[in-house]
Chains A and B, each alone.
Chain A
Amino acid sequence: MRPTHSGTMSKLKNKKRNLEENEDEQLPIFDKDGGKDGHLDDGDEDQGDLSDSEESVFSGLEESGSDSDDEEEEEEDGSEEKSSDVEEDKAADGDGDDQLSAKEVIEPQTDGQHSKEKKKKKKAAGKEGGEESVASDRDSGLQISSQVDEYEHDTSDEEDIRNTVGNIPMEWYKDYPHIGYDLEGKKIFKPIRNKDELDEFLDKMENPDYWRTVQDKMTGADIRLSDEQVDLVHRLQQGKFGDVNFNEYEPAIDFFSNEVMIHPVTNRPQDKRSFIPSLIEKEKVGKLVHAIKMGWIKPHRPKETTPQYYDLWAKEDPNSILGRHKMHIPAPKMKLPGHEESYNPPPEYLMSEEERLAWEQQDPEYRKLSFLPQKLACLRAVPAYSRFIHERFERCLDLYLCPRQRKMRVNVNPEDLIPKLPKPKDLQPFPTTQSLVYRGHSSLVRSISISPSGQWLVSGSDDCTVRFWEVSTARCLKTVEVGGAVKGVAWNPNLSICLVAVSYDDTVVLLNPGLGDRLVCTATDQLISSYEEPEEVKDQPVQWAVAEGEGHEQGHRLILKHPKAVRQVTWHGKGDYLACVIPDNGSSLQVVIHQVSKRRTQNPFRKNKGLVQCVSFHPIRPYFFVATQRYVRVYNLIKQELTKKLMANCKWISSMAIHPGGDNVICGSYDCRLAWFDLDLSTKPYKVLRQHKKALRSVAYHRHYPLFVSGSDDGNVIVCHGMVYNDLLQNPLIVPVKVLKGHTITHDLGVLDVTFHPTQPWVFSSGADGTVRLFT
C-alpha cells in the first residue's frame, strides 16, 4: 500500500493490485493512497497531503502496519533501490512527504528540510528493518550499500553509476591499481594508500573520528559517518526501530468498529440490477407455485385426523387369516424362571464353592444358568441385574435372526419301545441255576462234549489232559494225558460206539474211555481191531496208526497224524465220519473228512476260500457246513456242489451250530453278534442278537428242546428260546430267557465252550477258569 513501491508492484502483482484498487474504490480509507499511487510517477508529491487529516491517520497506520509487506515486495524486485542516489532521494522525498503527512497527526509539524532528512533515515530504517550486516557493506550512500547487500543475489540491470564493474567480488581488483571504471569508461584508481600498521595505529590514536570512518569497498575511499548515521547504527545495534520518532506503542484503533458511520463509505450509486426483480428467481418461484397448485408439494403436512390408537380389530375378518398365518411358526416363549432365580431361594439352590468356581470357568455359552443364584435377606437389598438389557437384546436377536424349524417332538414312553415278548416263565423248561461245578483242570478248558447217553462228559484242556466226568456227580472218572494242549473233543454220537475224538497239536486221537456199558466198549474195540487193510493202499494226506502199549491201555485206539495243527473235530450223526479243521489260510487242505470204519481220509475241497473257522455236518441230510471268516458255505456232499452261501454280516465267525431240524443255523462271532439264519428264508441273517458285551466263543442248539445257548468272553452264558415252527410261513420265535453267570474271567477269557445235555434241558459250559459248570 505504500505509494513508493506501488509502481513496482504493478509489474508483478497486477492481480493483487487490481484487487487493492477495487478495495480502494470501495473503501475510502485507502482512497488517498490509491490516489498517490497514480500520481507518484508524475512527481506530484505534495498533492493535498496536508489537507485531509482524518484519513491520514488511517494511512499512517497503514504504513507502519505494512512495513513488512513492503519488504517482501522489495525482495521480489529491488530494482528501484538499485537506482541512483538522486532517484532514490527523490523517491525518498516523495515518500517522505507522504509519510510526513501520515505523521502529522501524531507529532507536531516540522519544516520541510528537516522532514526530508528525517525521511531518509526513516526510509533506511524501514528498509533495513531486521538486517544487522547492513552497515559495513557498500559505499556511496549508506542506505544504498545496505540495500545492495540485502539484494546480494539479485540480478540487476541498473548498475552503480560510480563504479561500473557491477556486482562482483572486489578482491578481483586486488592486484590492479584501479578498482573499476566510471560511467565514461575511465579507470577509477585506488586512493593512494601507503598506510602500514603503524600508520594505522597512529591514525587510530590521533584521529578522533577514526571510529566513525568506514572504507567504501566500491571506491576505496574512506568515509566519515555523520552523527545521524552513527546514531542510526547505534539504534539498530540495540535492536530499536530505525526512526527516532516512530512510536511502536501507538494505541490501536479498531477501524472496523461497531460504530455505525453516518455517511456511506463510498458514494457509488447503486446498481441497476438491484432495482430489477431477478428473472431466475421468478422462474423458480413460478415452478414452486405450480407444484403447490398441482399438489406436488404440500407446504404443510396435513394433520393426522385418525387417533393414534383405535379399535384395530373392530371388524375381525376370518378371511383375513391367510395361509401364512397357518404356516407361521410362533417364536417360543421365554423360559419361565425356576426357584434358583428367586431373590431369596431355598438354600439347596445356592451354589457351593466348587460349583461356583466351575460356573465361573465355564464358557458363558455353555452355562446351564446364566446367573449366579444369590440369597438376599430382604427385598430392599436386591441389587440391579446388570445383564437385563443384554437379555432383552438377545431375545430381540432371537426373534428376528434365529432360523425357526418345526420339530416333531418324539414323546415316546420308553416302555413302549421295549418289544413285547412272551414271558420266560411260560417258555420253561430251560436251565436257570448253576447246579454242579466240575473242578480238576488246571488250565483253560477249551472244549467239552457229552456222551450220547448223557451220562458222561469229556473235557479237553490246555493242561494236556482229557478228563471224563460223570455228569450227575461231577466226579472225574478218568484222566487221560495227551501230548499237547487239547483243542477239541467230540464224543461219537452213535450210541453203539464208545469213542471220543480228541485233537491236540497236529494229532487226532480216537479214545475209547471204557465208560458205560462194557458190551459197547468191547464192541467198539472189536470194531477197530477187526479192520482189514485193503489190498491197494491209497496215498492219504493223513497217517492212520493203531495205538499200542501204554497208549492202548490208557484208551488210545487210533492215532491220526495231520500235516498241521487240528483245531476242531466233529462227528457225523451216524458216527462213522469225522471232520477235522486244519486252519491254514490258502492251503487246499483245511478240511478233512475221515471215515473211521475204513480208515480212509478225504479232502473234500480242492480249494478253500478264506480261513476255515469251523465245520459241521447236517443232522439229517447230506449237507456239509463250512464257516470261513465271514461266510458260511453249505455244500451238498452227494452232488458235490455248493448249495448256499450265507452272509453272516459280521467280521469274524467264531462258532456255528445247526438246528436239529436242519433248516436253521446260528453263528457266533467275535464282534459280539449272534446271527440266526433261516435257510429257507434268505442267505442273510433272520435276526442278529447283540446280547453279549464281548466276543462269542461258542453256540449250541438243544437236540429236543427249542433252546439255544451262547457263551462269551464276558463270562455269561445266555440261554434263548428259539422255537422253530413246522409251518413255513411262521418265522422262528427267538426270546432270550436266562443269563447264566458263574464263570470268572481269566486272561480276558470267559466261557470257551457250551453244550447241551442230549435229553435234559441242561447246559454245560467250560471256561477259562479251568472249570466246567452245569446249569439246570
Chain B
Amino acid sequence: MGGLQKKKYESGSVTNYVSRNKARKKLSLSLADFRRLCILKGIYPHEPKHKKKVNKGSTAPRTFYLLKDIRFLLHEPIVGKFREYKIFVRKLRKAYGKAEWSGVQRMKENKPAYKLDHIIKERYPTFIDAVRDVDDALSMSFLFSTFARTGKCHVQTIQLCRRLSVEWMNYIIASRSLRKVFLSIKGIYYQAEVLGQTITWIIPYQFAHDHPTDVDYRVMATFTELYTTLLGFVNFRLYQTLNLVYPPKVKHTKCASIKCVFKDMHLHISYQKLSALSASLARTVPLVEDEEAELDLFPAEGVSDRQLSYIRMCCTLCRCFGGQVSWDKSLCIGSTYDETDETITHHIVDRPTIDKQYINRYYIQPQWVYDCVNGKILLPVEEYFLGVTLPPHLSPFVEESEGDYVPPEKLKLQALQRGEKPQDDDEEEEEDDDDDDEDDQSEDEDEANLAEMEEKRAQGKSLSVKVTPGKVKPENRMRAEQEEKAEEKRLAIMMMKKKEKYLYDKIMFGKKRHVREANKLAAKRKAHDDSNKADKKKKKKKC
C-alpha cells in the first residue's frame, strides 16, 4: 500500500468548523470585540452534525463557528474601527492623566465613529429580508425607548429609539397594517402585516424599570446599535413607499396652532405631537382620505405618564382602523377635538365610574377596542361598560387546530364573526337546568313512592323463585365494525419494524399528551362554570 498514511481529524467535517477561541485568535480580537463583531455581522455558532468528529474525538462542550464565516469576518473594515476606537480610548485616558484638557477636547472632537450601513446592506441584500427580520429590532427599540436616563445606556440611544419607534407607529397607522393586538401581562403585543410579512413586537407597559444586575447591558447596547440602524433605514424606505416625508412631519393645517419662538422648542413640540400619534402625517403627494365617522375620546382626569402611554396605545389602534381619536386638552398635547363634541360615539374610560356622562355615546372600557381589533368586527358594547366584569381577553395569536381546546369565548366570537346572532346561552341553559332539576326531583319522588308501594305489597306474599326476563343483546353493528378496525390496527402495529414502531410510539405519545392537556382545560372550565352556576343559584335563592 503506497501513499501517505491518513491522519485523523484532518479532513472531512473538522475542516469546516473552528472553535470560538481559535476563531478569536485568527481574528486577533479580544473576546468582547469578537462578540460585538459577531452580533453586528450576524455570525452565530453552528451545531455540527457529528460533534465528536468535529471536536477531534472529545466530547467536551464547545461552540463551533463555520470556518467560512470567520474567514468572511477577516475582511470586515469595522474591525479596524474597533482598533481605532481602542487607541482613542487609550490616548484619551493618557490625556486625562496628564491633565491636558485641550488635548482631551480635541480628541473628543475627533472621536472615531463607525457606521453600520454597509453591514445592514450586506446582511439584508433585499428590503424584504430586512422587513422580515425587524421583529427583534422593534421589540428592543421599544424597550429602550421606555428607559429613563439611568446611565444604563447613552441618552442619545434612548432618544433615537424613541424617535424610531414613534416613526414606526406612525407608519403602521398611516399604512393601516395593524392586524392583531394582545394585552398580555408582559406587555402589549402588536402584529402588523408589512409588505406581506407578519411582524410581531412587544411593548412593555409604561413603568420605571427595575434594572436587573445580571443583565449585560453592553450586549444589549450593541444589539440596539445595530437595530436602530436597521430600523432607521427600514422606516425611511417604508415612508417612501407611502409617499410620506421622512423624517415625518405633522400635517401643517394642524401644526399651525402651535406658535413657537425657538426653533428647538418647535422641533421638540412637533415631535411630541408626532408621538401623540393623533395627527395625520404630511405627504409628499397629497391624498384625499375618506374616514369613517367613528370617534373615541379618552378620559381626562389625573394626568400621569402611564395614562399617556395607554392613550397612545389605544390611539394607535383606533387610528389604524380609520377611527378618529382625541382626548382632553389638559392631558396631553395633540388632542384634535373636544370632549363635548356631539359626534363622539364611544368614550373609552378606564375607571370604575364617571361623573358626567353624555347620553349619545357609549362609555366603555379599553379592552373593547382590543377585542374589536382582534375580532375584526364591532363587538356588542354591553359587556364592556364601566364597572362591568370584563369577558376574558383572548390571545389572537392562537390558531386552534383539530383536537385542541377552544375556549367557549372564542367559539362565541367565531359565531359572531360568521354573522350568527349571539344567543344568551347561559340564561337559557340556566332555565333549562332549573326545569330539569324540577323534573328530576319529581321523577325521583315518583319512583320512591312506587318502590314503597311495591314493598308494601310484597310484604304479604314472599316468593322464593325469581324469574328474570332475558335481555335481548342489541347488536351494534357500528360498534362491532369499529372494534374490528381497532383490532386490525393493533395487529398491524404488531408487524411494524422496530424503528418505525419507536417513531410511531413517540408520535402517539405526543398526541395523547396533547389530548390530555385539552381535556384537562375543558374539565377545569366545566368545574369553574359549575361552581359559578351554583353561586348564582344560591344568590337567586337568597333573593
B489 near A418: Cβ-Cβ < 8 Å: yes
- Given A312-B117, A424-B488, A424-B491, A348:B528 Cβ within 8 A: yes
**A384 touching B494, Cβ below 8 Å:** no
- Is residue B331 contacting chain A, with contact meaning CB distance below 8 A? no
Determine the distance from Cα of A2 to Cα of B288 in the docked complex, in whole angstroms. Answer: 100
Complex: A689 Cα to B496 Cα, angstroms: 9
| Residue of B44, B106, B200, B210 with most partner-chain A CB within 10 A | B44
Contact A371 B125 (CB under 8 A): no
Task: State A417–B499 Cα separation when bound (angstroms).
Answer: 10
* Bound CA–CA A493/B488 (angstroms): 36
Q: B351 contacts which chain A residues (CB < 8 A)?
A: 380
**Chain A residues whose CB sits within 8 angstroms of the CB of B484 once the complex forms:** 425
Q: Are B44 and A400 in contact (CB under 8 A)?
A: yes
- CB-CB under 8 A from A391, the residues of chain B are 186
> Which residue of chain A has the shortest Cβ distance to B502 in the bound complex?
A417
A379 near B350 with CB under 8 A, answer: yes
State in angstroms the CA–CA spacing of A348 and B392 once bound together. 11
CA distance A127 to B259 in the complex (A): 85
With A337-B397, A403-B46, A691-B494 already in contact, the answer to whether A346 and B525 are too (CB < 8 A) is yes
Do the beta carbons of A348 and B525 come within 8 Å of each other?
yes
Inter-subunit contact B521/A348 (CB<8 Å)? yes
B375 at the interface (CB under 8 A from A): no
- Interchain CB contact under 8 A, A337 and B395: yes
Are B508 and A349 closer than 8 Å at their CB atoms?
no
Q: Is B127 an interface residue (CB 8 A)?
A: yes
Question: Which A residues from 387 to 419 make CB contacts under 8 A with B?
Answer: 388-393, 395-397, 399-405, 410, 412, 414, 417-419
Point out the residues of chain A lying under 8 angstroms from B235, CB to CB. Answer: 309
Which residues of B are found within 8 Å of A738, using beta-carbon distances? 491
**Most chain B CB neighbours (cut-off 10 Å) among A392, A423, A734:** A392
Which residues of B, 157-210, contact A by the 8 Å Cβ criterion?
182-187, 189, 200, 204-205, 207-210
Q: Would you give the shortest CB distance from A557 to chain B, in whole angstroms? A: 45
- Whether A342 contacts B185 in the complex (CB less than 8 A), given A312-B233, A392-B220, A691-B494, comes out as yes
User: What string of 1s and 0s marks CB contacts (under 8 Å) between A732-757 and chain B?
Assistant: 00111111000000000000000000
Q: Which residues of chain B have C-beta atoms less than 8 A from A108's C-beta?
A: none
- Asked if B126 is at the interface (CB within 8 A of a chain A CB), the reply is yes
Number of chain A residues close to chain B: CB under 8 A: 87
Within 8 A of B (CB), among A123-180: none
Q: Specify which chain B residues have a CB less than 8 angstroms from the CB of A377 in the assembled complex.
A: 389-390
Do A404 and B233 form a contact, CB below 8 Å, given A348-B528, A379-B367, A388-B186? no
Nearest residue, chain A, Cβ from B106: A299
Question: Is A298 in contact with B186, judged by CB distance below 8 angstroms?
Answer: no
**Which chain A residues (308-328) contact chain B, with CB distance < 8 Å?**
308-313, 316-317, 320-322, 324-325, 328
Question: If A308-B232, A348-B524, A384-B204 touch, does A399 touch B488 (CB 8 Å cutoff)?
Answer: no
A349-B200 in contact given A310-B236, A385-B186 (Cβ < 8 Å)? no
Is the pair A336, B367 in contact by a Cβ cutoff of 8 Å?
Answer: no
Q: Write the nearest CB–CB distance from B481 to chain A, whole angstroms.
A: 11
For the complex, give the distance between the alpha carbons of A280 and B153 in Å. 44
Are the C-beta atoms of B182 and A337 separated by less than 8 Å? Answer: yes
Q: Is the CB of B488 within 8 A of A316?
A: no
User: What's the least CB distance linking B78 to chain A, in Å?
Assistant: 15
Contacts of B219 in A (CB 8 A): 393, 396-397, 400
Decide if B211 is an interface residue (CB 8 Å cutoff).
yes
With A309-B236, A337-B182, A349-B521 as known contacts, state yes or no: A414 contacts B495, CB within 8 Å: no
B394: interface (CB < 8 Å): yes
Whole-angstrom distance from the CB of B495 to the nearest CB of chain A? Answer: 5
At the interface, yes or no: A341 with Cβ under 8 Å from chain B? Answer: yes
**Does B363 reach chain A (CB closer than 8 Å)?**
no
Contact (Cβ within 8 A) A419 B496 = yes
Of chain B, the residue at the smallest CB distance from A376 is B185
B492 proximal to A (CB < 8 A): yes
Any B CB within 8 A of the CB of A334: yes
Contact of B236 among A311, A338, A347 (CB under 8 A): A311
Give the contacting residue for B496; candidates A339, A374, A382, A418; CB below 8 A: A418
**Given A377-B389, A393-B220, CB of A330 within 8 Å of CB of B133:** yes
Does B63 belong to the interface (CB within 8 Å)?
Answer: yes
Q: Inside 8 A of B409's CB, which chain A residues have their CB?
A: 346
Contact between A399 and B508 (Cβ–Cβ < 8 Å)? Answer: no
- The verdict on B455 contacting chain A, using a C-beta distance below 8 Å, is no
Q: How far is the CB of A339 from the nearest CB of chain B, in Å?
A: 5
Q: Is there contact, CB below 8 Å, between A342 and B495?
A: no
Chain B contacts with A in 116-155, Cβ cutoff 8 A = 117, 120-122, 124-127, 129-130, 132-133, 135-136, 139-140, 143
- Chain A residue numbers with a CB within 8 Å of B27 are none
Main secondary structure of the interface of A (DSSP, over half): loop
Q: Is the CB of A345 closer than 8 A to any CB of chain B?
A: yes
A331 within 8 A of B: yes
Give Cα A403–Cα B61 distance, bound, in whole angstroms: 12
B215 touches A393 (CB 8 A): yes
A377 to B409 CA separation, bound complex (whole angstroms) = 17
**B187 neighbours in A (Cβ, 8 Å):** 385, 388
Residues of A within 8 A of B284 (CB): none
By beta carbon, the residue of chain B nearest A407 is B47
A392 to B153: give the CA distance in the assembly, Å. Answer: 15
In the bound complex, what is the Cα–Cα distance between A595 and B21 (angstroms)? Answer: 82
Q: Say yes or no: is B358 at the interface (Cβ < 8 Å to chain A).
A: no
Minimum CB–CB distance for B143 against chain A, Å = 5
Measured CA separation A320–B130 after assembly (Å) = 14
CA A328 to CA B124, docked complex, whole Å: 11
Instruction: Find out whether the CB atom of A739 lies under 8 angstroms from the CB atom of B184.
Output: no
Closest to A341 in B: B184
- Considering the chains assembled together, what is the distance between the CA atoms of A608 and B158 in angstroms? 89
Complex-state Cα separation, A270 to B407, whole angstroms = 97
- Given A333-B135, A392-B143, are A344 and B495 neighbors across the interface (CB < 8 Å)? no
A388 CA to B38 CA, complexed, in Å: 24
List chain B residues, Cβ under 8 A from A341.
182, 184-186, 395
Known: A334-B135, A737-B491. A379 touches B310 (CB 8 A): yes
Tell me if A313 and B237 are in contact (CB < 8 A): yes
A414 to B503, CA, bound (A): 8
**Nearest opposing residue in chain A for B164, CB measure:** A309
Cβ of B426 under 8 Å from chain A: no
Q: Is A378 an interface residue (CB 8 A)?
A: yes
Specify the chain A residue showing the minimal Cβ separation from B389.
A377
Contact A382 B205 (CB under 8 A): yes
Q: Is B398 engaged at the interface, CB distance under 8 Å to the other chain?
A: yes
Per a CB cutoff under 8 Å, which of A308, A378, A400 touches B35?
A: A400
Known interface pairs A312-B233, A412-B507. Does A343 touch B47 (Cβ–Cβ under 8 Å)?
no
| Contact of A639 with B by CB under 8 A | no
With A392-B139, A414-B504 given, is the CB distance from A343 to B393 under 8 Å? yes
Residues of A within 8 A of B493 (CB): 418
A317 nearest in chain B by CB position = B125
Pair B390/A344 contact, Cβ less than 8 Å: yes
B424 within 8 A of partner (CB): no
CB atoms of B45 and A403 under 8 A apart? yes
- On whether A324 and B236 interact (CB within 8 A), knowing A342-B184, A739-B491, the answer reads no
Which one of B124, B189, B310 lies within 8 Å of A337 (CB-CB)? B189
Among A343, A349, A383, the most chain B Cβ lie within 10 Å of the Cβ of A343
B110 proximal to A (CB < 8 A)? yes
Distance (Å) between the CB of A389 and the closest chain B CB? 6
Interchain nearest-CB distance for B521 vs A (Å): 5
Q: Are A419 and B492 within 8 A (Cβ)?
A: yes
A388 to B187, CA, bound (A): 8
A389:B135 contact, CB within 8 angstroms: no
Q: Does B365 contact A (CB under 8 A)?
A: yes
Contact A339 B240 (CB under 8 A): no
Instruction: Using known A-B contacts A348-B521, A403-B46, determine if residue A417 contacts B500 with beta carbons closer than 8 Å.
Output: yes
Q: A338-B395, A405-B46 are in contact. List 7 more A-B contacts (CB 8 A).
A: A309-B232, A320-B125, A348-B522, A377-B390, A395-B139, A396-B39, A690-B498
What are 5 of the A-B contact pairs (CB < 8 Å)?
A330-B132, A336-B395, A341-B185, A352-B524, A396-B140
Q: Considering the complex of A and B, which 5 residue pairs feature the smallest CB-CB distances, nearest first?
A: A384-B207, A405-B47, A336-B397, A403-B47, A348-B525
